[in-house]
Structure 1
Amino acid sequence: MTELVLLLLLGGIGPVLLAEALLARYEVLVYAAGWRTPTIARPTGALPARGADPDRPPDAYLVYLDGIGKRRFHDTRDGGRLVKSLIAGAPELRVLGQVQPYSPLALPLADRPVWSWLRRHIGLVLFLHNVMQTFVAADRRYRPLYNRAVGSQIATELRLAGYQPDSGIPVVMLSYSGGAQVATGAVDELWSQLRCPIWLITLGGFHNGANDISRAQHLDRLTSAGDRIERVGTWLFPQRWRLFRGSGWNRADREGKITEHRLDPATHVGPRSYISPEARLPDGRSHLDRTADTVIALIRERLSATAETDGPLP
């Protein structure tokens, strides 16, 4: 009986996986062919950024790249709790949460008519779509195109939020889960267009380690022993293995550009995740509070170090 159920399950999901594997490449190929150009079109009344006073330069711009649950202009699948906590705790930052990391054409998945129907009837398909997009972004055949498309999208969003190229104001890319694949890939294009100091913070980062992050000044890796999904990524992708010394990840590690910070006992998703407002630590804070506090502390520490040295961080 168990074998029958398994076969039926695979029979139902198999065609969906195959279809998604083909459709996930569609946007990046359309972008490469020039048939459509990315369009930044947000809902009426939505601001290009929130947080610091738009009439004066912020201490830093923070771009949040959500995990594979991202499918709208809204900040996150969790209702934007993390972004709201960051804005409340660090009013000196200008925060962008609307970037579409799983769409080279900058199209929110949930706003497309077909996907809206699927969301109501077969929610799993939306999940699989973004999973497949993550693997397309990691595929060496499509990675350069994907990186350029999303990097350009982020640069455009930053300009709309008031960023001036060559201003020297840091851009922090905070990424959750599969967003780390997009964030590490966007570094070169972002540098090329804005020539800005770039800092990376990954939260349970799921990425293949192949992207060159030499233009980034530092990467802070927030992880946990309870995060099985991130651990699978370190096993799944050879470029994350120490054996592959020439990968972008391992070169950055040897140069001292990667610092690990533990957020035990948080899990990747679920009621004890990094962004859970219910799970509590011994000091009384929620996991969400600790994650926001950690991100803010890291940014302020680097801002302070930059001000003291009056130059780029190593």
Structure 2
Amino acid sequence: TLMVEPLTDLAIFLAIVLVGLFVWGAFSPFEALGWWAGWFGERVYVDPQPPNGYTRVARDNAQAYILFLSGIGRVSGENFSLREQGFLQRLAGALPEAVIIDDIFPYSVNNLALTGQPFLARFWRWVLRRKLDGPKLAGYLINMRNIWQVCISADNRYGPIYNQAVADVLLHSLLRYNYNLDNQRPVFIIGYSGAGQMAVGAVSYLRELIQAPIYVISLAGIFSSEPGLLAADHVYHIYGSLDYTHRLGLMAPGRWPIFPSSEWNRAWRQGSITLLNTGPMRHTGAGGYLDIKSFLPDGRSHMDSTVQLVVDIVQRHLDAISEKSGDPALPSLTTTPSLTGEHESHVLSDAVV
């Protein structure tokens, strides 16, 4: 009897959590539908973050704009991840002529932070405090909420609405940092983990708003077969051999080879998708892409290898654009390119512009 009661209580608790998650998921589409119906107005919320010297710095002579969309652990545009901060700082140091924007919350149709929502703000602030203090359960609540948003973005019914809203948020972010629509500077969207879906999903609609080249860099991204795969000038998918989480994207039927007319398979045949294997890296945490304490056989840390990979992608396209336009070439990288994968020579020698 003493053992049965705790087990019964645990079963009831798990049942309540499960029902709550399904109810939560059932109401998730209403945010996108509400945006489409105009219930929230046209305002795009800004979670003001002071420039830190390497991101969110407007430059009049910027050669490229990099939009960083964080993984499902975020609650707002503020970046609490030390690993992501280190990644962006290194990226900015290697690409001084690029504007890097990271104060974007892609899990909201209008960039409104969870901690700023009208009804649940106090709850999410409590969850965030608990997460920062260490308990994993609080982090799981945030992850589950944002996973539902990823599912909405990938859904054929609600996805087009949600992704159009995200495209508006991305455009608003570009304009806030002096993006000139007439200069057509290239835009690189880095989608980390679940934000890979948001990055790919928004491209089709961002393409209608700006005429510049748009490239998607999926950093261990989880995404379905989206029209954005065809709308982007090129899509790079970076993954590690020990990362099994990114393979969740393979559950999308459109990424199966038995559907040759899907966006994924058409983009693949056109050579618009490049897969880049980083070696033995995990999805996140220790041994992940942004870990400075784990090292590859060549002696580089996972962080340095990942940064160099992204830098190479951006720099190659900037060099190709400069050559095509006749402008003076941008400073070349002095480091050894680290692109690896089955399309390696294609990326290094013939960047698609």
TM-score by length of 2: 0.81
Partner residue in 1 for 2:280 = 265
Partner residue in 2 for 1:85 = 90
1:203-245 deviation per Cα after TM superposition (whole angstroms, max 9, x unaligned): 11101113333221111111121110111321x1111111122
Partner residue in 1 for 2:176 = 160
Query: 1:56 and 2:65 equivalent?
Result: no
Q: How many residues align?
A: 312
**8 A contact 2:204–2:227 mirrored in 1:** no
Residues 80, 16 of structure 1: alpha-carbon distance in 2 compared, 3 angstrom cutoff: farther
Query: 1:254 and 2:254 equivalent?
Result: no
Q: Distance in 1 between matches of 2:59 and 2:252?
A: 44
Displacement of 1:64 in angstroms is 0.4
Q: Distance in 1 between matches of 2:77 and 2:185?
A: 25
**Which of these residues, 178, 184, 195, is aligned with residue 211 of structure 2?**
195
Residue pairs, 1:114-263, within 5 angstroms: 114-120=123-129, 123=138, 124-234=140-250, 236-263=251-278
Counterpart secondary structure, 1:200: strand
Q: Distance in 2 between matches of 1:49 and 1:221?
A: 28
Q: Distance in 2 between matches of 1:162 and 1:301?
A: 23
Q: Distance in 1 between matches of 2:16 and 2:302?
A: 37
Q: Distance in 2 between matches of 1:176 and 1:263?
A: 15
Q: Distance in 2 between matches of 1:49 and 1:196?
A: 26
**8 A contact 2:105–2:113 mirrored in 1:** yes
**8 A contact 1:100–1:106 mirrored in 2:** yes
Q: Distance in 1 between matches of 2:30 and 2:123?
A: 15
Displacement of 1:76 in angstroms is 5.6
Residues 52, 210 of structure 1: alpha-carbon distance in 2 compared, 3 angstrom cutoff: closer
Q: Which runs of 5+ in 1 are unaligned?
A: none
Q: Quick one: which amino acid aligns to residue 46 of structure 1?
A: P
**Which of these residues, 66, 71, 74, is aligned with residue 67 of structure 1?**
71
**8 A contact 1:223–1:263 mirrored in 2:** yes
**8 A contact 2:57–2:100 mirrored in 1:** no
**Which of these residues, 286, 295, 298, is aligned with residue 310 of structure 2?**
295
Q: Quick one: which amino acid aligns to residue 123 of structure 2?
A: V
Residues 247, 9 of structure 1: alpha-carbon distance in 2 compared, 3 angstrom cutoff: farther
Greater C-alpha radius of gyration: 2
Q: Distance in 2 between matches of 1:22 and 1:7?
A: 22
Q: Distance in 1 between matches of 2:283 and 2:44?
A: 32
**8 A contact 1:69–1:76 mirrored in 2:** no
Displacement of 1:55 in angstroms is 4.4
Q: Which runs of 5+ in 2 are unaligned?
A: 131-136, 327-350
Q: Distance in 1 between matches of 2:108 and 2:97?
A: 29
Counterpart secondary structure, 1:105: coil
TM-score by length of 1: 0.90
Query: 1:98 and 2:107 equivalent?
Result: no
Displacement of 1:12 in angstroms is 4.0
